[in-house]
Structure 1
Amino acid sequence: MKLVVATHNEGKLVEIRRILVEDLGADADRIELVSAGSLGLPDPVETGVSFEQNALLKARDVVRRTGLPAVADDSGLIVDVLGAAPGILSARWAGRHGDDVANYELLLAQIEDIPDRNRNARFRCAAALVVPEPGQTEAPYELHNETVQLGDMKGMINRAPKGEHGFGYDPIFVPEEQPARAVEAGETLTSAEMTPDEKNAISHRSKALKRLAPLIRTMVLD
């Protein structure tokens, strides 16, 4: 059974495959994960006003075009003192989509005078699964069922960027959950100071997809 991941980022496809294989066990062999990019599908305009809406929007678009079940995710940073901003605007907070340094530098400037005790934040991921109505032969395909699962990675905003790994706001975000090596050394690391495996073990995307995995089993495989 083909399951389309609504992304043009092959690196994200690899990450999602790793998480799902781990959680689906032997059932993972029954699923062939492919990206929307490899199928030549366009990126839909993300007009939702929440992570859940944007994840569903992307998955629904794939299903309507292909008639195949689809998984999509949407994520961003929520800073309490900014009233849950930047939220769905995380990737373009400074005005230009994907300018990571400009985004986190603007955020640091906005909360510069906020004391450490009030710099709480969290990354949130919404992972959506949408399946088509069975037995259809022509596009646009109708939708049969859908679900969204959430995952959070809690932490706080550091006062300066640290670390060379990751992307986005990783250099200024200190997760509440820390790897064993940091705990043993009495240190706290930003996401950008963690290895990919350390970050993935506690990430918001990993948590959301782990909650989605059993639903893939029941909604796609059964």
Structure 2
Amino acid sequence: MPLSRLLGFFSRTARRAAAGASASDSDAERFFALRHHSFKLFLTAWNTFQETMTALEYTLCCDHPFGLYRVRALCTSMATQAFQCIKQLERLDPAPCEALYARFAELQNMVADDVYEPESCLLGPLVLPLGPDETDMEALSGQGRSPLVDPVTLRLEDVRRRLPDLVPRGFVVTAVGCQHFFQSGELQSEINRRIQAAGGLAPKHLAKLSRSLGQLVEDTPMPQDLAAEILAAVAR
């Protein structure tokens, strides 16, 4: 933002103060102190934004490895500081800030499409039976949506159709069931936290991280509804 525009905020303040010269000195001092504090917060947020922007540019331009988790963290930090800038400017002069908020929302959506994983909410059964007369191939393939099972299960059922006596009956926990498990008890959030704390998915971290995450998944209680459906499938 040009310095002339920032100085304009204080020019408007001076004109308003002159128009209200009849106010008490204490009110005028308090009014100036609040605006001065807002301007200091704006400068702090702006400087932090510039530092984060530099860190992001360094991450993207250099030859060292980095993970998308770092880019997401930097983008989140930049968005936070940009929002703080607009918020403090609004306290100084609210007139131009409606357009700034609108543009901020547009840019945030553009960045989110490229950087952040879309939140998905899968619908469907938690467990599906597999057998000569039980397998619902349309349900397995997702009926035009995201498949409910992995490609290995789909290939297995293709083998069953061609060689029905070769593959025994069974069942599969669907993608819906897996998502339900990872979202229960903040398991996915804890996995993300451990990955970030370990420094990302760099090859040197994978062995230790794999053991840690594997033990975390084993120690996490299964949701009761998912456990009930699995036990029912085993009994069937």
Normalising by structure 1, we get a TM-score of 0.24
| Relative contact order higher in (CA < 8 Å, ≥ 6 apart) | 1
Normalising by structure 2, we get a TM-score of 0.23
- Rg comparison, structure with higher value: 2
Greater share of residues in helix: 2
